[in-house]
Amino acid sequence: MHDDLVSRTFTASGPSRLRLADITEHATGGGKLLLCAVKDVFSNRIVGYSIDRSA
């Protein structure tokens, strides 16, 4: 986890009103692997993800 350098405050009044996404590249023995995750801000849960070797 990194520091929030721009002091953003994310809040949602109910489920599915605000979602965040992130793509992360991981090095593996078989090459790079990309993980994309979608998070619902209200529940603080991952609501979707995808893993693939290319974009």
E strand spans, the chain? 19-28, 31-40, 45-52
Where does the pLDDT of residue 9 fall: very low under 50, low under 70, confident under 90, or very high at 90 and above? Answer: confident
Asked if residue 52 lies in contact with residue 34, where contact means CB atoms within 8 angstroms, the answer is: yes
Residue 55: is its pLDDT beyond 80? no
**What pLDDT, in 10s, does the model give residues 16-43?**
999 999 999 999 999 999 999 999 999 9
Question: Where is pLDDT greater, at 54 or 36?
Answer: 36
CA-to-CA distance for 55 and 34, rounded, in angstroms?
7
Distance separating alpha carbons of residues 25 and 2, to the nearest angstrom:
16
Q: What pTM does this model have?
A: 0.76
Q: Quickly tell me which residue has 């979608």 as its tokens.
A: 38
Angle at the Cα of 29 from the Cα atoms of 24 and 31, rounded to 5 degrees:
55
